[in-house]
Structures are given as C-alpha cells and as structure tokens.
Amino acid sequence: MSEKTLLHQTAALLGDFGIGVETLANGDVPVTSPIDGSRIATIRGHGRKDLDSMIAPAERAFLAWREVPAPRRGELVRLFAEQLRQHKAALGRLVSIEAGKILEEGQGEVQEMIDICDFAVGLSRQLYGRVIASERPGHRMLESWHPLGPVGIITAFNFPVAVWSWNAAIALVCGDPLIWKPSDKTPLCALACNALLGHAIERFGEMPEELRRGLSQVAIGGAELGEALAEDRRVPLLSATGSTRMGGTVGPRVAERFGRTILELGGNNGMIVAPSADLGLALRAILFAAVGTAGQRCPTLRRLFVHDDIVETLIPRLKRAYEQVKIGNPLEPGTLVGPLIGEAAFGAMQQALDEAKRDGGHVSGGERVLAERWPAAFYVQPALVEMPGQSALVRRETFAPILYVMRYRDLEEAIATHNAVPQGLASSIFTTDLREAELFTSAAGSDCGIVNVNIGPSGAEIGGAFGGEKETGGGREAGSDSWKAYMRRMTTTVNYSRELPLAQGIRFEVDAP
Ligand code: NAD
C-alpha cells in the first residue's frame, strides 16, 4: 500500500464528513496510520489558552442546554444516530485507518455508537427521580436529577469513537455540554465524530448561537492538555479512559478541586477453563478475546487458567488456531489481526516476552512479521506464553497480544490467583457445572466489574454498566444507571402543612413574636 493511497483515502473520508483539506494539511501535529506508518494528515493542535477559549463557551452553552427539556435533548441524539447510520461504513473505515483495527471491528465500533445513542434517546424520557416517604405529617420528600455542567472526556487510542459516544450520548441527554480530548494517536476520528454531531445540531432546528458553539468541542493535544482539562474547576465531571498511569495523574488533580471523575483504566483480564467446559466454545472465545484488535482492547484476555485435566487437550488446539490467524492489512477482507499502534507498543511487547522467558515461561509466537513490506509499521504474531506461575510480569498489563497460560487444580485457588492482580476490569469462566459458575459470579468469586460465564471477557454490549474495580478506576459507563454520574442529585422536602415539625422529633420552640 502506498503512502499516497492512505493519505488520499483519509482526505476523501473526512471530506465526506465536511472536513476540508485545509484542516488536514496546515497544522503542527502529524497524524500517522499504524497500517504502514505513513503520515495521513497534519492538523492544528491546541494549547492551554485554546482550551480556555473552549471551556468558556461550554459554560454558556450549559446555561441554555440545561433548560431544554430532556426528551427534546434526546431528539438531538436521535438525529446524531441518523448521521452515524448514514456514515457507518466511512467512519468505520477511518477507525481502521487511524487505529489499525480490522474493518469488521471498525464498523462494530460505529454500531456501538448507534446502540448507545438509541439507549440514550430512550433514557431521555426516563431520568427518573423518586418520591420518598417523609416521617413528618404534611410533608413530601423527593429526589430529582438536574444537569451537571460541561463534561471533560479523555479517550484512549484503542476505542477512538465508541468510548466518546458512551459519554457524549448520555451527557447530552443529561443536559451537559462536551469537551473531548481524544488520544493524540487518533485525533481524526474525533474531528469526524464532532463533524457528524455538528450536522445533527444543524438539523435540530432553532438553537441560540452560544449553544451551537459550545455544545460539543474537540481539543487536540497530549497529556499536558488532558491535565489542563483535569485541573479546570469549570469542568465538574472528567470522564477519563486510558492507562492506570494516566488515571493516577488525573484522578488526584480532579479530586483536589472536588470535581468528579469516571475513571476507565487498564485491565488484566482472566479466564478460567474448567474440566466440564465446552472446549469448542472456549477455544473460539479465547481466540477472539486474546488476539482480536491485536490484543489492544481494554478487556483483552491476558491470563488463562486451565484445569490440569484438560490442559493437554486445549493448549495444542489453541496453538494450532493461533497459527491460522491471518495477520495483515486491516483494510483487507479476511484479516483478523492488524498492526500494533506503534513502535513503543512493539518494544513493550518484546520486553515482556524477554522477561517471561527469564521467569521460566515458554513462549510461542510474538515475533515481528511483515517488516519488509511495512518497515515503519509493527505487525506481530500473537504470543502464547505458558507460565509456571503468576509472576510480577503477569500481574502487569502489557497492551499487546500476549496470553499467559497457567494451570490450576482447585477452583477456589484459581479464583484467588485470578483476583491477585491490581486491576479489576473483566473476567470469565467456561464451565457447564452450575456450582462453579455460581461460585465465580458470587461475592466469593471474581472481583471484577465484568464477570461472564461461557463467553469471553471482551466484547461488551450497550445496556450493562461497563467498567472495573481496583486500579481499573471504579468508573461505570454506557448502561444501567451510569447516567447518574452526569447529573446532580437534588433532595427536596416540601411542607404543605400549617405546622413546622422538626426531623427526629427535635423540639426547638420560642414564643413567636
Ligand atoms: P494512555 O493512558 O496513554 O492515553 C489515554 C488518554 O489519556 C490519551 O488521550 C492521552 O493523551 C491522555 N493522557 C495520557 N497521560 C495523561 C495525563 N498525565 N494527564 C491527562 N491525560 C493524559 O492510554 P492509551 O495507550 O491511549 O490506551 C491504552 C490504555 O487504555 C490501556 O491501559 C487500556 O487498558 C486502557 N483502556 C481502558 C478502557 C476501559 O474502559 N477501562 C478502555 C480503553 C482503553
């Protein structure tokens, strides 16, 4: 593939969204594709001053947007979903070009955006409060939910569009404007999404100018810009997705100013395969969860615990399946594994494999491939590493396709080992034994936010709350009652009697003057 081809394809795709070449050629921030390492655009980056000039209009937009009735706000999200349906193929392809995902997964991300929009539209008529029984006669107590303010959204490279939409769709119906700092590796996807939301805003009808300007904005930059967003008191909620290192920096910054966070950080996801498991199903699930997206999903399967009785059957089959996975250009049909995001990811993978060998691990795969064809891109054979135990290396997240395989004999011990890592995102068990499945999902089972039975840990659907415990950050997005994080809770007591009784029966009387 020539550099020209990807450059032109990118310009054509963005042109369809209404983004002209002047935006893609005249900046100071180079954007490259992991497919061949070529430059696909050079866009303008933003500094702290630019961010300041985005937050002020977002504050003004908030004052107008919070007064638009929630079902009407839902109408904007419905229009956005229409745009996404219309442009699904193009946006999915852009995800593939910029993040290196195979076409199927790029399209899947856009479908996920459509799904969260549909969810949010329904939600816009269901931002329910509650009426609470008061202990005082002639009194009514109620709880209601109000818009919060501008929401800062920091996203990672590996889900360059879906994660923003989880936040954006819900925040918009909740009455909050958006300021998005995407990964510096995938800014074009952000410009494209924002342009599509802009088309929806145009179709929405009458809107005051300050609302049109400040409802959704994108700030292009790296860690420093993210930190500026985290520190700004005018942003009451920061939803940040990325590494635990990043969360460790932004979490305290937001806490210092008493802001709120939704943190969606690193995972180190495990699966237990029990003796009664349907091995055919398990094999397919392991393959997708461990090598899909080149091992660069947050819930990618990284640790596999196989019962002693089936290890000699499952692992040789798994190795054969690994050998058949087609690695290559993610834009070509049939490819299952695209490139790593870049050289640093490749370096981290090789370091981890060297450490695994020193720890007594047996490594299959892991080597670089297609280097002659694409010297500036980093394609790898996914690695399967049989480990004698859960070393310090295995307890860390290496964001690459490495699956550590360990044996177990006793399920309770396996669960304890599974939980003995700092992260707590996703987990699964393959078993047909009801007792084992129930134990794994019980209070004494997996300590993760996502706990699956007979499906892999990755590939969540909209509707359930997504997120994890411990160093994964504790945030929840995308489903269930996660919308509450984007609103402020109000408790109200109304006295419709002619008396003024105090709670807890307290008497505080004076002779009324
Ligand atoms: P990263 O932490 O390098 O970057 C993520 C985002 O944070 C980027 O926008 C980056 O510019 C910004 N950032 C980095 N340092 C920052 C700082 N000090 N202050 C403010 N912003 C900062 O992560 P990545 O390499 O883009 O993505 C991979 C990581 O993200 C993995 O650890 C993966 O598990 C995690 N992830 C988690 C989830 C989840 O839902 N739990 C989803 C996707 C990715």
Output the DSSP codes for 214-236. HSEEE----HHHHHHHHH-TT--
Q: What is the pLDDT of residue 4?
A: 53
Ligand 1 mutation pick, 48, 101, 112, 158, max ligand atoms within 8 A of CB: 158
How far is residue 487's CA from residue 239's CA, in Å, rounded to a whole number? 13
pLDDT tens per residue across span 62-83: 999 999 999 999 999 999 999 9
In the block, residue with structure tokens 């430059």: 39
Residue 3 has pLDDT above 50, yes or no: no
Residue 450 in tokens: 């996502």
Residue 32: how many other CB atoms lie within 10 Å: 19
Kindly give, in sequence order, each residue whose CB lies less than 8 Å from that of residue 103, ignoring residues fewer than 6 positions away: 92, 93, 96, 330, 331, 333
Band (513; pLDDT cuts 50, 70, 90): confident
Phi, psi of 175 (to 5 degrees): 100, 20
Q: How far is the CA of 102 from the centre of ligand 1 (A)?
A: 21
Q: Is 126 exposed, middle or buried (0-12, 13-18, 19+ CB in 10 A)?
A: exposed
Q: Which ligand 1 atom lies nearest to the CA of residue 245? A: 2
Residue with CA at minimum distance from ligand 1 atom 11: 222
Phi, psi of 487 (to 5 degrees): -130, 165
| Residues across the chain | 513
CB 219 within 8 A of CB 180: yes
Classified as helix, coil or strand, 187 is: helix
Residues designated as active site: 264, 298
Q: How far is the CA of 184 from the centre of ligand 1 (A)?
A: 10
How far is residue 58's CA from residue 69's CA, in Å, rounded to a whole number? 18
Ligand 1 mutation pick, 167, 227, 249, 298, max ligand atoms within 8 A of CB: 298
Q: What is the pLDDT of residue 421?
A: 98
Residue 333 has pLDDT above 80, yes or no: yes
Pseudo-torsion of CA 313, 314, 319, 322, nearest 10°? 150
Residues touching ligand 1 (Cβ under 6 Å) are: 154-159, 163, 181, 183-184, 222-223, 226-227, 230, 241-243, 246, 249-250, 264-267, 298, 397, 399, 425, 472
Residue 371 in tokens: 């280097």
pLDDT tens per residue across span 471-508: 999 999 999 999 999 999 999 999 999 999 999 999 99
- Percentage of residues in the chain having pLDDT higher than 90: 95
CB 172 within 8 A of CB 178: yes
pLDDT tens per residue across span 190-213: 999 999 999 999 999 888 888 999
Average pLDDT over the chain, rounded to an integer: 96
pLDDT tens per residue across span 221-256: 999 999 999 999 999 999 999 999 999 999 999 999
